[in-house]
Amino acid sequence: MPPSLRDWLPADHLAWFVLDAVGELDLAEFFADYRADGHGRAAHDPRMMVALVLYAYAVGERSARLIERRLHEDVAYRVIAANQVPDHATIARFRVRHEQALAGLFSSVLALCARAGLVRAGVVALDGTKLQANASGQANMTYEQIAKAIIEDAARVDAEEDERFGDRRGDELPAELADPVTRKQRLRAAKLELEAEWEAERQAAEAHNARCQEHAQARAEGRPKPGRPPVPRPLPEQPGGRVNVTDPDSRSVRTHRGFLQGYNAQAAATEDQIIVAAEVVVGGTDQGLLEPMTARIAAELEAAGIDQPIGTLLADAGYWNAKQIKALRDQGIDAFVTPDGRKRRRPPKQPLARELRARLETDGGRALYRKRAQTIEPVFGQTKTNRHADRFQRRGQPACQSEWRLITATHNLLKLWRHGLTPAPAT
């Protein structure tokens, strides 16, 4: 009898756990995308493909080509795939085709963690980390540079066609039309995005200037409106700013090591380092995200069937927003956000800031707020350093959002696996 691959892995190996976990997941959304009448070429079993993707991401392998190589060389991969070897194009197409379904695995894995008693929503820490986009910062261009590049590209194509065809018509399909992803298309898409932002900015400026006229007219009629009169804004004559022609959704974001072209990946974790929310935000600031991320946490807990309210939400100074903190307090959530990154010599002027700063000066306040760094920052360290997930492989905010949720879902899956390996306490 030929040797069995099942004999080559120990019983407590991660591969067996992933296969068992996939057996507990609802994969109806994956199967619904395939024909059930038997026509067409046979597809790889979606259960096997989901298990393969989850296992690869869990061990820090996201390259489709390297996953294909592992299917030849690594026993665990061969066990997961039942000795089948989907090529890298099949793996990549599976991730694109089932983008939303793969993102939805986050809630399913979170539900498994809840069933194991690993989710305690009493204290939740929120933070963001910068992940590099699959684009270079040198691909950022202004509106004028894009317009100039389009003209130069058109002139280059004309010159190449003149050299290739001469006086002939050249009915053959040009290469730039045969390729669905061309430089010309990327340039035009980036140009349209800048124009859309310009139009939105113009409309906002026009609305603001209309309010300025209303204030001025009210003052002239002897009935001034309360508050400081607004100052008119100049209307922009042409689109400003810069956009990346490789990944237009990405931005130049600031990190402690400088600037990188990327996204702001948000995550919220419990004291047991179980991630209960994961989002990808365009831009580098955390300002204004406190209340939306709290709503996202509540939605994820509900989707996973976890009937636990958020007790305390810990966040750093980047999330400071007095209005949102008060709104969360009205919902019964203790939003514990430091009003500034470092201690000030002078007390803050705002009453809420003074209150939270005074709370941080107490032993209990310091001990509670210290949990923020102990909870969420190791999660980012494990994800970006140990599992090498410090750069997105796909482009565009929706695709990066799906990838980030898959990365964080496998983090929770690893936590669940290690929880099962922990010996029970002696009685």
Give 187-243 as a DSSP string. HHHHHHHHHHHHHHHHHHHHHHHHHHHHHHHHHHTT-PPSSPPPPP-PPPSS--SEE
DSSP state of 311: -
User: Are both 300 and 221 inside the same structural domain?
Assistant: no
User: Are both 229 and 334 inside the same structural domain?
Assistant: no
Is the residue at 183 inside a domain? yes
Is the residue at 398 inside a domain? no
Cα–chain center distance at 90: 24
pLDDT in tens, 122-167: 999 999 999 999 887 766 666 455 556 555 555 555 555 555 555 5
Is the residue at 72 inside a domain? yes
User: Are both 370 and 278 inside the same structural domain?
Assistant: yes
pLDDT in tens, 247-271: 888 888 888 888 888 999 999 999 9
User: Are both 28 and 71 inside the same structural domain?
Assistant: yes
Domain boundary among 226, 244, 262: 244
> pLDDT value at position 176?
40
User: Are both 283 and 379 inside the same structural domain?
Assistant: yes
3-state secondary structure of 247: coil
Residue with tokens 């695709």: 399
Rounded to whole angstroms, the Cα distance separating 322 from 351 reads 10
Q: Please compute, for residue 188, the number of CA atoms within 13 A of its CA located in the half-sphere on the CB side.
A: 8
User: Are both 292 and 150 inside the same structural domain?
Assistant: no
Cα–chain center distance at 255: 16
- Are 114 and 306 in contact by the 8 Å Cβ rule? The answer is yes
- Which long-range contacts does 83-86 make (Cβ < 8 Å, 24+ apart)? 83/5, 84/44, 84/48, 86/44, 86/49, 86/52
Is the residue at 198 inside a domain? yes
Range of the domain at 126: 120-135+249-392
Rounded to whole angstroms, the Cα distance separating 124 from 202 reads 40
User: Are both 256 and 371 inside the same structural domain?
Assistant: yes
In the predicted model, residues of the chain with pLDDT beneath 50 are 143, 168-181, 424, 426-427
DSSP string, 61-94: ---HHHHHHHHHH-HHHHHHTTT----HHHHHHH
> pLDDT value at position 420?
81
User: Are both 124 and 68 inside the same structural domain?
Assistant: no
Is the residue at 283 inside a domain? yes
Structure tokens at 71: 């299917």
- Are 125 and 314 in contact by the 8 Å Cβ rule? The answer is yes
> pLDDT value at position 256?
83
Domain boundary among 244, 274, 291: 244
Is the residue at 296 inside a domain? yes
pLDDT in tens, 334-356: 999 998 765 555 667 788 988 99
243 has which bridge partners?
Answer: 141
User: Are both 257 and 325 inside the same structural domain?
Assistant: yes
Is the residue at 45 inside a domain? yes
Rounded to whole angstroms, the Cα distance separating 93 from 95 reads 5
DSSP state of 304: T
> pLDDT value at position 59?
94
Rounded to whole angstroms, the Cα distance separating 176 from 185 reads 9
pLDDT in tens, 393-408: 998 899 999 999 999 9
Domain boundary among 244, 274, 303: 244
User: Are both 339 and 298 inside the same structural domain?
Assistant: yes
- Are 185 and 174 in contact by the 8 Å Cβ rule? The answer is no
> pLDDT value at position 186?
61
DSSP state of 7: G
**3-state SS of the chain: helix, strand, coil percent to 5?**
55, 10, 35
The CATH number of the domain holding residue 364 is 3.30.420
> pLDDT value at position 267?
96
Burial 298-329 (b: 16+ CB within 10 A, else e): bebbeebebeeebebbbbbebbbbeebbeebe
Rounded to whole angstroms, the Cα distance separating 100 from 96 reads 9
E strand or H helix at 97, and its extent?
A: helix 88-97
User: Are both 254 and 277 inside the same structural domain?
Assistant: yes
Rounded to whole angstroms, the Cα distance separating 385 from 393 reads 16
- Total domains in the chain come to 3
> pLDDT value at position 319?
94
Is the residue at 410 inside a domain? no
Rounded to whole angstroms, the Cα distance separating 77 from 23 reads 17
> pLDDT value at position 326?
95
Structure tokens at 141: 């261009």
Rounded to whole angstroms, the Cα distance separating 319 from 124 reads 14
User: Are both 236 and 174 inside the same structural domain?
Assistant: yes
- Are 28 and 50 in contact by the 8 Å Cβ rule? The answer is no
